[in-house]
Amino acid sequence: MASAPEWGSGGRWFESSRPDHNIKSSIIMDNKINIGLIGFGTIGSGVAKSLMERRDMLLKRSGIDFNLSLVCDKDLSSKRDVNIPKGMLTKDADRVINDPNIHIIVELIGGIHPAKEIVMKALSKGKHVVTANKLLLAAEGMDIFQKAMDSNREIYFEASVAGGIPIIKAIREGMVGNRFSSVFGILNGTSNYILSSMSTGGASFKAALKEAQLKGFAEKDPSLDIKGLDSSHKLAILSLLAFGKRVDLSDIYVEGIEDISNFDIQYAKELGYVIKLLAIAKRYGNELEVRVHPTFLPSEYLLSSVSGAYNAIFIEADLVGKQLFYGQGAGKLPTSSAVVSDIVDIGYKIACGKNSAESVIPRDTEIKKVRKMDDVVTRYYAHFSAIDKPGVLANIADLLGRHNISIASVVQKERSKSHIVPIVMLTHEAKEKDMQAALSKINKLPAIKKKSVIIRLEK
Ligand code: HSE
């Protein structure tokens, strides 16, 4: 193994800034940082493999020897593509958390419980923590960040949003001097894969989902992904970092992709748009808008060409202007890339005795509230299924007009055998509250034969 360059106090040991935990985890011997991994599933095995196979490379690059010392999982019998010596394996998470030689705990079990208890305990035992757990941070982040701050320990979570794309580092460090006005993008690979298959291959939603499951992009139970919830967890984390605003999950308007039809995708194309599931955070003065829903995007936008299981995040901020980040938002290796990066970052932090956990706690008083969905203003695509007879279009237009909704364009195709015709419209900007009120009246018109569809439009 390559010898470590000198660093820290003479290259021998370093004591972190507040040695009040009185345990070995605040002391690094021989530039070595010990890591305990809790959760040895797909991502966990990728992280273990990367750490073991790249130990030498990481030492050369960072001057720190990252040593995987204990691996914990309930299931130790399933086959993984990495060989961990038996003595390093345990089913007992407490053994990892209580090991005085371990500096960093990596939590990769997912879900809220017992992940929260593990993370909180690890922090109070003086361990630094790396997690990929977006739900945990979106739902319980404040407790955890506060605990990290009180314990003077780090909590890093790059893998929780957009997998391998270093978006958290980019926001927290690369753009730290900016005021953000928009952060939005494709944060769920499963949904993007499904929408792409429906768009390019003409597959139905059901067939596209099945294909995504067969190819390993979608989970057996894909609800969190296709209902937009996974995107909302990630949006809550991005909103906190970019806008300093802690957003409750219940404050985020969420609509999934289950009701998107091939008809609407086809119409989008004809009108020069694509449909993407977007997670959107936008600032208007002291209000923040946070929403997840299928969105019409002009097809010439870079974000519109992001297809398959890829993720992309568009950012607009005052110094840097517009930026787009693109890459693999899920999967064993891209996610491992983010986890390893967090481990190395914490290594540097330990080496220089600096803790930055407090920077996640919201302090930006500029954002006073989350805008109610009713008050959101956007353009709309609307698709009405109506009986083709005189006056129907006029009725619809009249109801829209009475609710302050101005029509930008209308298309009605030829009469079909069933005499039910699609009437498709794009509107100018309108308030969500007005659109919903108009829609509920339009849906009650005797000539309307199916629930009308609206899809919001981003420009
Ligand atoms: N299930 C997520 C997706 C990946 O489909 O993007 C993990 O965040």
Ordered by start, the domain boundaries in the chain are 6-163+333-360, 174-328, 374-457
Please provide the distance, in angstroms rounded to a whole number, between the alpha carbons at the two ends of the chain. Answer: 54
For residue 431 the two structure tokens come to: 């308030």
pLDDT value, residue 159: 98
Judge if the beta carbon of residue 185 lies within 6 A of ligand 1.
no
- Ligand 1 site-directed mutation target among 190, 226, 257, 311, most atoms within 8 Å of CB: 190
Which of the residues in the chain have pLDDT under 50?
A: 1-25
Atom of ligand 1 nearest to the CA of 189: 6
Atom of ligand 1 nearest to the CA of 224: 1
pLDDT value, residue 265: 98
pLDDT value, residue 23: 43
CA-nearest residue for atom 2, ligand 1, is 188
The architecture (CATH level 2) of 174-328 comes to 2-Layer Sandwich (3.30)
- Ligand 1 site-directed mutation target among 168, 230, 238, most atoms within 8 Å of CB: 230
pLDDT tens-place string over residues 201-242: 899 999 999 999 999 888 899 999 999 999 999 999 999 999
pLDDT value, residue 28: 65
- CA–centroid distance, residue 430 to ligand 1 (Å): 32
Report whether CATH 3.40.190.10 matches the domain 374-457.
no
- CA–centroid distance, residue 161 to ligand 1 (Å): 9
- CA–centroid distance, residue 339 to ligand 1 (Å): 15
The architecture (CATH level 2) of 6-163+333-360 comes to 3-Layer(aba) Sandwich (3.40)
Judge if the beta carbon of residue 335 lies within 6 A of ligand 1.
no
Q: Hey, which residues are catalytic here?
A: 234
- CA–centroid distance, residue 296 to ligand 1 (Å): 21
